[in-house]
Structures are given as structure tokens and as C-alpha cells.
Amino acid sequence: MQNGTNGFASNYDHDATVKFFRRWWKVLSAVFVAAAVAAAVVSMLIAPRYKSTAVIFPSNSNRLSKAIMSYHYSMDFMDYGSERDCEYAMQILNSKRMQQAVCDHFNLAEHYAIPTDHPHLRFRLETEFKSNVTFKRTEYLGVEISVLDKDPEWAAEMANYMAAYYDTLCREIHHDRAESAAEVMAGVCASLEQEIDSIASTASGNQWKATLLADKSKQLADLQTRATQTRVDKDLAVSYKYMVDEAVPADKKAYPKRLLIVLGGSIGAVVVCIFGLLLFAKKED
């Protein structure tokens, strides 16, 4: 390794490099200035975009009925959620239902100037949406909803709408699950009640049937408690998040970074020019 390094150092011609830049410094300077001017003009033509961000903490509201009604339930319903709740929130926010609701509510096809008769309308709309809307986890299991837009008011409204609509989707999901569970448990409860009536009618003086009747009655009582909890969940109208920060209109653009565009364009042009001049010099030799 050391030999390779020494070999490289011995092959490097410092005088040739100095000579090269002395010969071409005017050309390189002109290219740098011209590229800087061109990049500055291009950056001025790019419409500025503003960023608004809302931050939410997914909550444990889907377990609220248990926390309130069950004496033995240890989960504190005032918790700010968990890693699992955060993952659920990310999945819901990134869902097609969320995207479609936002696109419809804000008429984003028109806002992004996409013709409604465009053959790839959905693809274009989804591409624009994903390039302007991002969701990410925070360090403390919160979720950050960020929106870029040319209109700062619009960006803030979109971010806050998604935070609010997150609750709507959560309620729909939990309502559907609780409704299905309630139907199943109602059927099981009815079956147990019939079984208990049947056993009770012949349990007199029979110790085994009396014990069985007590067990079945306990099962029914437990199931009825769970059914009550499920009905509470089905009609639950609480929020499934804590709103940490509402989005507000930005007073400073987030994009483009004109200085970076100018520097990047200028340096890139100079590098390309150097390679071109090296090839030109090699042909001369």
C-alpha cells in the first residue's frame, strides 16, 4: 500500500499542473463566471416553494375502553403511544386512501396544473404528491407531516388537513373492526345463554352440572364485558393522536437554495472544462 502511495507521489507532476492552470486560468475563470451567471438565471426561474410541518403523537385511544372499564388493565390511556402506534400511523398516513382524500379535497390535479384528460393522470398526480408531501418518524416516536408548495398558506392547510383526516381514517378502521367483533361476540353470547338455560333446567341436585353451569356463567359474564368494551370502541369519538405542532404558513422559502445551485453549476462546469482541456492538450502532444 505504501509503495503504491509513493509510486503515485513520484508519478505526480506538480510543475505540469501549475503550468496547466497558468495556461488556462483565463478560460477556466470565464467558464466559472459564465456558469455562475447561467445558474443564477436558472435558479431565478424556478418557482420558490415553502415548507410547512405538523407534528403529531399517535395515542393509545384504540385501547381506551379497556383502560377505563377493566380494573386489571395496566395500560395508561394517557400514554403517548408506542413504537407500534407510530408504525400504524406511518402506514395510515402513507395509504392510498389518505392520498386520494387529500387530492380530492384540494383538487391537486388543477393545483399542480395536470390536465384532467392526461393519459397518465393518476401517475402524474401521485408523483407530484410524493415529491411534495413527506412523512417521517421523530426521535421520540412522533410523526412529522411536511408539505412543500408554492403557496405557503396552501402548504400549511394541507399538512393540518392530513393530521385531522388521520383521525377520520383511524375511526373508520376501528369502527369496522369493532363492529365485526361485536357481531361475532353477540352470536357467541346467544349460544352460551342457550347452553346455560339448557344446563340449568337439569342441574338440580347434580354437582357436575352445577359446576359446569358456574363455569359457563363466568364465561358469559367475561364475554359480555368484552362485548360492552367492543361497543364502546365501535362508537368511540375521541382523537387517535395528540397534536404537538400545527402547521403554520412559512415566511421563508425552503426551495430552491440558489447559492447551492450557483456553486454546484459553476464547479461542475469548471470540472467538465478541465477534462475537456486535458483531452485537448493530450491531442496536441
The per-residue pLDDT for range 58-113, each reduced to its tens digit, is 986 555 555 544 544 444 444 555 788 889 999 999 999 999 999 999 999 999 99
Low-confidence ranges of the chain (pLDDT < 50): 1-2, 4, 7-8, 68-69, 71-78
- Across 83-169, the runs of DSSP E, i.e. the strands, are 133-137, 143-149
For 250, the grid coordinates are 412559512
C-alpha cell at 4: 503504491
Where do the CATH 3.30.1890.10 domains begin and end in the chain?
47-255
According to the model, what pLDDT value does residue 116 have? Answer: 87
Predicted pLDDT at 145: 97
Give the model's pLDDT for residue 66: 54
Which residues is 50 bridged to in the sheet?
Answer: 149
Spatial CA neighbour of 32 closest among 276, 266, 268: 266
Distance CA(67)–CA(62), nearest Å, equals 10
pLDDT of residue 73: 45
Which cell is 62 given? 384504540
- Comparing CA positions, the residue from 161, 138, 158, 122 lying closest to residue 90 is 138
pTM for the full predicted model: 0.69
**Which residue(s) pair with 146 in the sheet?**
53, 134
Given this model, what pLDDT does residue 8 score? 45
Measured in Å, how far apart are the chain's first and last C-alpha atoms?
A: 32
Look up the CATH number of domain 47-255: 3.30.1890.10
